[in-house]
Amino acid sequence: MVVDTSALLAVFFNEKSGPWVLDQLQANSNDLAMSTVSYAEVLILVQDRQPGAYKEIRDAIETSSIRLIPPTERHAEIAAGARLRYPLNLGGCFPYALAKDEDRALLTLDRDFRRSDLKVILPGAR
């Protein structure tokens, strides 16, 4: 399962969907991956919204079972195609590319991914 920025932020910022995301992460703890682009986005948003929690959150991610994967040239090509096909911002194109390249589901709270050709795991989705 590929983890999108929105999913981790829901946990870290105690959003309504946070407990649901945490359940998904725990249920799939042996098979989690995240693009380092998404990781950077998480770190930026944490520093902006909760700078005092930055080190704790960074350490939690880096010691978790989430495998951090840097984008490859193939990911860049897939991301570019996704940006032109779907209503995704640049940051969303890289978790899309990782999920597409590795044929994995995407854990997200961003409903724009529903329009993509990925298997998307969203709260309330069946």
Sketch the domain layout of the chain as residue ranges: 2-121
Report DSSP letters for 55-119, one per residue: HHHHHHHHTSSPEEE---HHHHHHHHHHHHHSS--HHHHHHHHHHHHHT--EE-S-GGGGGSSS-
Tokens 């995240």, residue?
A: 34
pLDDT of residue 125: 63
**pLDDT by residue (tens digit) across 79-121?**
999 999 999 999 999 999 999 999 999 999 999 999 999 999 9
H or E element in which residue 40 lies: helix 36-49
Residue 19, pLDDT > 70, answer: yes
If pLDDT is split at 50, 70 and 90, which confidence band does 124 have?
confident
Contact 118, 99 (CB under 8 A): yes
- Mean pLDDT, all residues of the chain: 96
**pLDDT by residue (tens digit) across 46-77?**
999 999 999 999 999 999 999 999 999 999 99
If pLDDT is split at 50, 70 and 90, which confidence band does 122 have?
very high
Architecture of the structural domain at 2-121: 3-Layer(aba) Sandwich (3.40)
pTM of the model: 0.94
